[in-house]
Amino acid sequence: MFYAISYDIRDDRRRLQAAKILKNYGQRVQLSVFEAELDEKTLARLQQRLGRCLDLAEDSVRFYPLCAACTAKISILGQGVVTQDPEVIII
């Protein structure tokens, strides 16, 4: 499933750590927003990794699942493109 992931993290160190983790799973599209194609197992692993670096009393990470029909309707004003899985060709 395609996800938009946003965060609000107060501490610079935790924010940088969370961004580094998210870069391994998706594409940064704004300063605190990532897009990623994740299956259930990968989503659970990402949430677990983020949970270990956050202060859950101060920080927030939101995962917005977008269905294929919704993803096709994403519009962008200004710069940027919607994240897409790279084509894989097996030879």
d(CA 64, CA 71): 11
DSSP 72: H
Within a 10 A sphere around the Cβ of 19, how many other Cβ atoms? 15
Structure confidence at residue 91 (pLDDT): 59
Using 50, 70 and 90 to split pLDDT, how confident is the model at 60?
A: very high
Residue 14 near residue 22, CB atoms below 8 Å: no
Entry pTM: 0.82
The shares of helix, strand and coil residues in the chain, as percent rounded to the nearest 5, are 35, 25, 40
Q: Residues 6-46: pLDDT tens digits? A: 999 999 999 999 999 999 999 999 999 999 999 999 999 99
Structure confidence at residue 90 (pLDDT): 56
Q: Which domains does the chain have, with CATH numbers?
A: 2-69 (3.30.70.240)
